[in-house]
Structure 1
Amino acid sequence: MKKLALVMLLIFIAGMMPLFPTASASGGEVHVAYFYAADCRTCVEAEPLIKSIEENFSFVKIERYDVNEYYSLYDDICEKYHADHAIPTVFIGNKWYHFEVEEGNINETVNEFKKTIQEYEDIGGVESPVKDGSKIVFPREVCILQFYNFSNENESLEASKFKEAFEENITYVKIDELNTSLDINMDNFENICELTNENVSLPAVFVGNTSFHMDGKNISRAVEEGKKFELTGVQCPEWKGICIVFFYNPLCHECTEAKDKLEGMNSRYPINVQEYSTLSPEGSDMLFKYYDAFNISK
């Protein structure tokens, strides 16, 4: 049998972008998802509050979901928001509020809800947390980028302090840690500095379009910057990515050498290697699919 060592590289390159707040397609309206039950006494008692908000805020659009009919959706949205499984509850952008009429803090909860409505109206509105009646599109995380050398003990310690502070103070946060010992991440760092017009020394953290050198005195400033985006979230940039599909014969010496070289590339590039043995039915079938897709003669 002819020895086979075939490597296909599929390189997906997505343009770098600055870190902007997540866009909202609301048309200036503030959309609210309201979960209740027709047979829930507390929900019946809360209904006048919901109606008064609709009457007093003309730009508010409340979408009602009876949990008896939409329980799976309700369960999913509570899980995503880390919300209590209790009704009646409203979800608005990155916030949620449970109305417990019998508790003494109901007025405080309603006032907080109204304040959030006004905050979203001030920034141009917010779309519904539920799209097309089934897809949950909120909450949206605040993306934080940390650039540091993973093998440097001091830099790693500072990065962990920043990470802990972000996670403790920002409700929905995603921290993307990038190892600057990799050439591709140094390129990403330089590109994002250029795109955001920031000039910062490593180790560094980016919050939105603002950067901070990672040392202890900047932790509180970085956290405060992150909290500015709690209503909208911040979308992470799309990085250049390399996916390598490796087809090999495990009995082939050349294949073993190629595999070793691929493993060596991991020290320089954050690559994703998918391996298929051509001796397996799955690997053989996948190989011929790639032959057809790339017009390679068999």
Structure 2
Amino acid sequence: MGFFIETFFGGLMAGMLYSLIALGFVLIFKASGVFNFAQGAMVLFAALAMARFSEWLPRWLGFESVILANLMAFVAAGAVMFTIAWLVERLVLRHLVNQEGATLLMATLGIAYFLDGFGQTVFGSDIYKIDVGLPKDPIIAFQSTFDGGILISKEDVIAAMVAAGLVALLTLFFQKTGTGRALRAVADDHQAAQSIGIPLNRMWVIVWCVAGVVALVAGVIWGSKLGVQFSLATVALRALPVVILGGLTSVPGAIIGGLIIGVGEKLSEVYLGPLVGGGIEIWFAYMLALMVLLVRPQGLFGEKIIDRV
């Protein structure tokens, strides 16, 4: 029983990390109605900015405090992501207002390739590390209850708490603030939103800025765990089934979908993997997402789209 709980808990923590990236997909889709293929590149770019600024700023400014370096690097990386959001709206989205969704989708692909190349040009292509003080050593809990106890990663627990806090804030933002409701209106109908005075360009800048901050948090956590390298952009592919399962329009759905997939991956690999030779963890999420698409295309928590003719 202890091993099952340990595996289950490990799946929950992995699912929360997937959900951090899935949040970026959901935010962009809620505000623009387009699936943002650049989210993985944004996570990578933000992580690169954080890693390199934490190295450069102490040398430039002449101080040795690691905490201050990380704090200033986070602020600087956030400013970079805000700048990118403004440039994306100014140079790309502004010229594609009221275009077909496929056109916007292709635009995000172009943004993704640009960020990949530009990030390599500015920050380099080596493997960098991010050390924000997250504890690496696991702890063994419930030793008196279960034989051998349960191994828990403190780093994963902190990451899960950060993700949960972001979800709570974003849910309140979309449900309780005027800007959040305006973003939902823009996602429903660009032309109708403009007709009632909602500034479409400003709404897109805001949501890309928020998605950039989410990408930065995800990049810092993933970079701390795996190191910052260009394969980090492919981590976003692990979040695609999360988005499909939870629903493209649901912020809480991104979290719940991530938890379901994280737990499902771990349990299936541990208990079913030996029966089929392993490898279930690689394709489990995609098969689950496919089954959900066949039954409920909008996802478990997505808004059902009704077209009236």
| TM-score, structure 1 as length reference | 0.23
More helix, by proportion: 2
**Which entry has the higher C-alpha Rg, 1 or 2?**
1
| TM-score, structure 2 as length reference | 0.23
More strand, by proportion: 1
Q: Which has the higher contact order (CA 8 A, sep 6+)?
A: 2
